[in-house]
Structure 1
Amino acid sequence: MPFMKDLAALALFLSTSLLSAQPTTWHLHEGWTFRQVGTEDWYSAEVPGVVHLDLLRHEIIPDPFVGTQEKDVQWIEDENWEYQTSFPMPEGPKHQHYTLQFDGLDTYAQVWLNGKLILESDNMFRQYKLEVGEQLQSENTLRIVFESPLRRHAERIADNGLPYHKTAGNDARPKSRVSVYTRKAPYQFGWDWGPRLVTSGIWQPVSLIGWDEVQLTGFHLFQNSVTAQQVSGVLEARFQGRLEPGMELRLVHAEDKSIWVRYPITERIRTAEQIPVRFDNLQLWWPHTLGKPHRYPLRLELWQGELLLGSQTQAIGFRSIELVQELDPIGTSYYFKVNGLPFYAMGANLVPPDPLPPRATDEVWQGVVADARAVGMNMLRAWGGGIYPPDAFYDACDSLGILVWQDFMFACSMYPDEEEFLASIQEEVIYQVERLQVHPSLALWCGNNEVDVAWHNWGWQIQFGIFGKDSARMADAYRHIFKEKIPRLIRVFDPNRNYVHTSPLSNWGKLENFNHSSMHYWGVWHGPDDFEKFSVYVPRFMSEYGFQSFPEVATVAQFANGDSWSLDDPVMSHHQKSYIGNGEIRKHLRRYYPKEVDFEDFLYKSQLTQAKAMEMAITAHRQRAGHNMGTLYWQINDTWPGPSWSSIDYYGRWKASHYKVRQLYQPVMASAILDKGSGNVWVHSTSPEIQDLQVVVTRHPLRGKAEQIVLDTTFTLSPFAAIESALSFEYPRSQRNSSVWEVTLWKGEQRLSSSVQMAVRPKRLRIPQGQVVLQHLPESQSIELTSSTFIPDVWLEADGVSHWSDNSFHLLPSQTVRIRYEGTLESEKEIRWRSWGVDNP
């Protein structure tokens, strides 16, 4: 059958042509080995990865999280490390071009391909691409030598130049503070909530990409005007190589295959092509507190006749976000508008989930976002002392309707502006902006964390003798980087996105400053203030504040054995990285709760104390909505196990504060202030809807006598409104130590929020001895709890349970509380509970 043979040959030719027309990607992640430079022994390595993880895998170093073993691995940062692999010339269709792509090298790397030096890297935050077609052979050797950043900058520290490094207070090696001179994750050099693990390695994927005349590398839709009726802007197609006449770009809906844009190429193009576009009647993307986070799956395709040359797919959300900073009767506003509506931000600051970044998988980052959404957060701030999160983080924020405040990776130190350093910053900014700008959740670019406020308020000039020309030159470097260089790049590459040069824009030293812009308030913890001061110092936008706690018993057991379970034990002291230390937790704990009876009780009460701080702060912020338009506490997550400001510990266990935040971040929330016989109820809504509501306040005697409704009223709440004056009640002052008040907000039959309020600090309550009755309901994977008396802050634990639907809750007299659990539980006998108000069972 000659005809059939010819047809088969033609089919093979066409399929091969189609394959070779599109780029081909080979991941070079196999066969890697590594060694310490100057030694003979090679070991297998994992890529992506870093040297600490490879050393751990081969049991060459101990786990730095356990005990004080972090000290035993510090030698790694002083050594150079070498990685190598071999790979054959890829089989299959041949291409005109071959690009070697490194998505992340940490940090000072010399890259050798078949014995030829092809790259010297100096920035872990950027991508490197190299044309290597002429260097490739049938068998290839790829070798990468990482130079220690400590060695790299040793002479810089020793010379008498401008002392930028002296300002790096986080850098835990005082005589070798090189962090400010290297574009490497600052937190790896140490911080007041994490270890010092200065690592090196191929921390992101490495690939070989084969392509021909053109490679479509991405696209972006610049949204110049956005309304529900029409979106207009520019579609920018990005590519390597050139576009030729006869080619066509098509923007296609990836699911229904409808074509949104057809753009024929009529002349040769060697740079990105920009195409004016307009779309009608689209569903807009909203943060979840304002609407639904709708996205369209769009694919940009490049065609030449009937031949597909390449495609890129993105999920696009159409929205406008504006940062409003205007003079007003109060001072200077600072709030976001999304699609023209005011947005009240409720969220937290985010730190890298691990000091060794490759260990934090996409699932870990997505888990943090899921935990944020589970408690009602609508904004996360990616803090500037860590790393730029992976795409999976932003994808999760996009899909769950959570805005992202994105710092560039500069924090708490002055930085030089030499030409080579600026060139590296420029490449980093361009790469990260083009990588992240597609995400509708990305609301703000921020130049740095606390650099400006530190320079003007932390006393560096006096402490380090920086005066006259030296001071002026270092201040000029700040201006050059954060007020000129970076914003100029933002205007070119992401012109529709907001930029501020720093956070905060105001310092907490004066009360008047709280009327202006963003604020980091640290009078609680770093200052002498009690939690009550949160109600006094309420800024226009609070982008940092917080209080520390320890993780729960199960987490402590993973880094310290039972012999170390003492607050003053060397292991506990080592894991406490704050210069103030564990005494600050103990001081505030004893102000609000009875003195701890043992170490485990201290762990429990430290979490209650942190939750109390969050309650008093967030309540104060939301009570003054309008004046205040955002509250982002420090911090949602941990980078290692130990005491910190996190509301979720390193292993993903929710602390008491995270459960409390879920109550505080309800879209419509009611609470009460009880003082001197008067109760004032306030209600705050982040919703764009008009709502008919009912608020009920019930007094519960602690000993379980008859409850009393002291307020029951209905009212209409306007969009984004706060109401207080019409909602008040009186109570005898004699009840303040013997009662609590339950404040419940209803919308028809739906309970919107509920909280238990006290008229005194918790330890002043006269809690009667009581007992909790537990019942296990295995068919619904839940338990029920009841008590005849008031049981405060019930904390549940069980070895087989990974998560409780609620915890650290008040059990009101004669009420039944049902709690769901995740994990395994055979009977109620496996459950351990504690409450500071009664004797533990």
Structure 2
Amino acid sequence: MLMLSNLRVIAQNDMSLNEGWIFREVNAGKWFKASVPGTIHTDLMRTQQIEDPFFRDRASQLLWISERNWEYKKEFFLRSNFNLNQKKYIVFDGLDTYADVYLNEQFLGRVNNMFRQWRFEAIGLKPGNNQILIRFFSPLRIADSLAKQSDVKRPCENNRHYLRKAQYHFGWDWAPQLPTCGIWKKVYLSSESASKYKEAKYADVKLIQTADSIGQNFYFTVNGQATFMKGANWVPADVFLARMTKDRYRQLLIAAKEAHFNMLRVWGGGIYEDDDFYTLCDSLGIYVWQDFMFAGAMYPGDSGFLQNVKEEAKQQILRLRKHPCIVLWCGNNEIDEAWHNWGWQKQFEISANDSIRLWKEYVTLFHEVLPDLVRQYDSGRAYISTSPLYGWGREKSMTHGDSHYWGLWWGIKPIQIMREKIPRFMSEYGMQAMPNWKSINKYSIPDDWDTASVVMKAHQKHPTGYKTLSAYIQQEKLKPNSFRAFAAATQEIQHRAIKTAVEAQLQSNGRCMGSLLWQFNDCWPVCSWSVIDYYGKKKKAYFTLQALYKDR
């Protein structure tokens, strides 16, 4: 395989290859027009082979798409005077995820990471007609195959962790199971011009983690002044990532700014966001806590996986370091906490020897490989290995480092507990709420308006979601007498919970120096912890935050 994987700035004379693609199920016969960048699901929708997966319970009927192999093809013509004396490269800014690439029926190579840019020397490129073929393999079947090859049980609720693919695509407690595939970023033909990266740019922001009389603090200074970070966790704003536009990013990020946020955490089960996201954060004065894309699982530790991740991390660090909004790199979301608190060893029947091995592999990736790359390519930014430092059931979670407190919601603790649970930096906490009524009408019909309906269950991904919401509604002595009233009551509950928590954090006399709500936004229409729903409609708690953070 002749492949150059280093990232470079696209030159002005690069030739776009985004237009003119067609697709089909592998060897299925008829070809259909494709849109690039795009995904197999959006192409199937656009060609009217499937209907909108977000309407009613359709998403649950579409898993067959993820179980099949798909291929994309493009033919393009080069004039006889096209300069082929210089080496040419076919560059894919993003392929999701496992695929073989061919040029003029010659195999160029296999890709296995949607977070990497892939560059192949265009051997066989010629004047006249040329053809690129990309054959995508089922992400579900590939993940299962890799899991079977593993010689140790690796804790995870499914086999998503074997793929370098957005983890939320396999489903989360706010996301549907729609593991798509496709050419999700730009494609172009490039010359051999030198690779150049923009230099790192830094805001005068520092992370402080030192021992104090309480335990270990965790706060940021801005221009030398300790600053309370007001914000939320950001998740991918669509299941089908190619649908994201600069305008959609702008709408959401302006809403964050108008709520007086100064920080968003890009959560590790999603994606490294598009440059448009970070450029907007730069201009709006919103700092970014950037996770690497690992969440809630024990990832492989073999040399092939590590080399893949090293190239991924290197590319992303080099791409993103030019954005001064980024103030922190974080190795993963909740893996350290899970290993020590979620009972994985018993649940997955992991032997003592395998436990030692798995933890050693964890340390290698998150305490050695990733911080070494940050030091090498972006030495002016802080790195932490995981978030949170301690699980929410441990006393130290309130006195040391950042905290994900889930006694509210998961523990069904009363809302008033948030007056007592004040950590050093609250990097996750939250309360679910239904979307706005107009939004509910977009993905359902009146026959669905009951929490026991198939459709409403499909748009609630937490296993006890409606039951937990009902418990809080009862605790707060609300008495909704209809489904619409229930939806409104959930927003009232979320408002009360967030108001109680943020007031206590702001009034803690410096004990707590940050509040990042779980979660800011949604990737599809769902009952979740977001304060802005998938359609961009603000819930009551959004305005609560806006009022609390004004002039703070």
What's the TM-score bracket when you normalise by the shorter of the two chains? over 0.9
Provide the C-alpha distance between the structure 1 equivalents of 2:357 and 2:424, rounded to a whole number of angstroms. Answer: 32
Select 2:258's aligned residue among 368, 374, 379: 374
2:372 alignment counterpart:
488
Select 1:463's aligned residue among 336, 347, 352: 347
What are the superposed Cα offsets for residues 774-798 of structure 1, whole Å, 9 maximum, x if unpaired?
xxxxxxxxxxxxxxxxxxxxxxxxx
1:122 alignment counterpart:
112
TM-score, normalised to structure 2, is: 0.95
1:556 alignment counterpart:
440
Secondary structure (helix, strand or coil) at the match of 2:62 reads helix
Provide the C-alpha distance between the structure 1 equivalents of 2:94 and 2:112, rounded to a whole number of angstroms. Answer: 11
Q: Does the Cα contact within 8 Å between 1:185 and 1:409 map onto a contact in 2? A: yes
2:487 alignment counterpart:
603
**Aligned counterparts, 1:45-444, within 5 A:** 45-89=34-78, 94=83, 96-132=86-122, 135-158=125-148, 161-164=151-154, 167-169=155-157, 177-210=158-191, 214-215=193-194, 217-221=196-200, 319-444=203-328
Q: 5+ residue gaps in structure 1?
A: 1-21, 170-176, 222-315, 669-841
2:8 alignment counterpart:
none
Provide the C-alpha distance between the structure 1 equivalents of 2:422 and 2:197, rounded to a whole number of angstroms. Answer: 43
Provide the C-alpha distance between the structure 2 equivalents of 1:133 and 1:479, rounded to a whole number of angstroms. Answer: 40
How far 1:159 moved relative to its partner? 5.2
How far 1:579 moved relative to its partner? 1.3
Distance verdict in 2 for CA 1:501–1:136, change over 3 Å: farther
Provide the C-alpha distance between the structure 1 equivalents of 2:123 and 2:65, rounded to a whole number of angstroms. Answer: 35
Secondary structure (helix, strand or coil) at the match of 1:571 reads helix
Secondary structure (helix, strand or coil) at the match of 1:135 reads coil
Secondary structure (helix, strand or coil) at the match of 1:393 reads helix
Task: For 1:65, give the aligned amino acid.
Answer: F
2:544 alignment counterpart:
660
How far 1:655 moved relative to its partner? 0.5
Provide the C-alpha distance between the structure 2 equivalents of 1:403 and 1:491, rounded to a whole number of angstroms. Answer: 20
**Aligned counterparts, 1:690-839, within 5 A:** none
Q: 5+ residue gaps in structure 2?
A: 1-10
**Aligned counterparts, 1:619-638, within 5 A:** 619-638=503-522
Secondary structure (helix, strand or coil) at the match of 2:220 reads strand
Q: Does the Cα contact within 8 Å between 2:140 and 2:179 map onto a contact in 1? A: no
What are the superposed Cα offsets for residues 326-368 of structure 1, whole Å, 9 maximum, x if unpaired?
0111110101112222121000000001111111222212222
Provide the C-alpha distance between the structure 1 equivalents of 2:104 and 2:271, rounded to a whole number of angstroms. Answer: 32
Identity %: 41
How far 1:586 moved relative to its partner? 1.6
What are the superposed Cα offsets for residues 550-603 of structure 1, whole Å, 9 maximum, x if unpaired?
011111111110111112111111111001220111221232243001111111
Q: Does the Cα contact within 8 Å between 1:559 and 1:641 map onto a contact in 2? A: yes
Select 2:18's aligned residue among 25, 29, 37: 29
Task: For 1:636, give the aligned amino acid.
Answer: F
Higher strand fraction: Structure 1 or Structure 2? 1
Provide the C-alpha distance between the structure 1 equivalents of 2:255 and 2:156, rounded to a whole number of angstroms. Answer: 32
Provide the C-alpha distance between the structure 1 equivalents of 2:79 and 2:281, rounded to a whole number of angstroms. Answer: 37
Secondary structure (helix, strand or coil) at the match of 2:199 reads strand
Q: Does the Cα contact within 8 Å between 1:62 and 1:73 map onto a contact in 2? A: no
Provide the C-alpha distance between the structure 1 equivalents of 2:538 and 2:313, rounded to a whole number of angstroms. Answer: 34
1:252 alignment counterpart:
none
Q: Does the Cα contact within 8 Å between 1:49 and 1:203 map onto a contact in 2? A: yes
Q: Does 1:647 align with 2:542?
A: no
Q: Does the Cα contact within 8 Å between 1:348 and 1:633 map onto a contact in 2? A: yes
1:763 alignment counterpart:
none
Distance verdict in 2 for CA 1:609–1:556, change over 3 Å: same
**Greater CA radius of gyration, 1 or 2?**
1
Runs of 4+ in 1 over 4 A off after TM superposition: 90-93
Q: Does the Cα contact within 8 Å between 2:197 and 2:319 map onto a contact in 1? A: no
Task: For 2:174, give the aligned amino acid.
Answer: W
**Aligned counterparts, 1:589-600, within 5 A:** 589-600=473-484
Distance verdict in 2 for CA 1:128–1:90, change over 3 Å: farther
Provide the C-alpha distance between the structure 1 equivalents of 2:145 and 2:454, rounded to a whole number of angstroms. Answer: 34
Secondary structure (helix, strand or coil) at the match of 1:438 reads coil
How far 1:130 moved relative to its partner? 2.2
How far 1:485 moved relative to its partner? 0.7
**558-567 or 516-525: which moved more?**
558-567
Q: How many residues align?
A: 541
Q: Does the Cα contact within 8 Å between 2:389 and 2:397 map onto a contact in 1? A: no
Secondary structure (helix, strand or coil) at the match of 1:386 reads coil
Distance verdict in 2 for CA 1:579–1:625, change over 3 Å: farther
How far 1:41 moved relative to its partner? 1.4
How far 1:23 moved relative to its partner? 5.3
Provide the C-alpha distance between the structure 2 equivalents of 1:117 and 1:625, rounded to a whole number of angstroms. Answer: 63
TM-score, normalised to structure 1, is: 0.63
Distance verdict in 2 for CA 1:456–1:216, change over 3 Å: closer
1:3 alignment counterpart:
none
Secondary structure (helix, strand or coil) at the match of 2:30 reads coil
Task: For 1:219, give the aligned amino acid.
Answer: K
Select 1:453's aligned residue among 321, 324, 337: 337
Higher helix fraction: Structure 1 or Structure 2? 2
Q: Does the Cα contact within 8 Å between 1:23 and 1:210 map onto a contact in 2? A: no
What are the superposed Cα offsets for residues 156-192 of structure 1, whole Å, 9 maximum, x if unpaired?
334572111xx223xxxxxxx3211010000000000
Provide the C-alpha distance between the structure 2 equivalents of 1:379 and 1:31, rounded to a whole number of angstroms. Answer: 40
Provide the C-alpha distance between the structure 2 equivalents of 1:454 and 1:487, rounded to a whole number of angstroms. Answer: 21
Provide the C-alpha distance between the structure 1 equivalents of 2:27 and 2:105, rounded to a whole number of angstroms. Answer: 18
Provide the C-alpha distance between the structure 1 equivalents of 2:325 and 2:267, rounded to a whole number of angstroms. Answer: 16
How far 1:216 moved relative to its partner? 5.6
Secondary structure (helix, strand or coil) at the match of 2:411 reads coil
Distance verdict in 2 for CA 1:328–1:145, change over 3 Å: same
Q: Does the Cα contact within 8 Å between 2:79 and 2:127 map onto a contact in 1? A: no
Secondary structure (helix, strand or coil) at the match of 1:161 reads coil
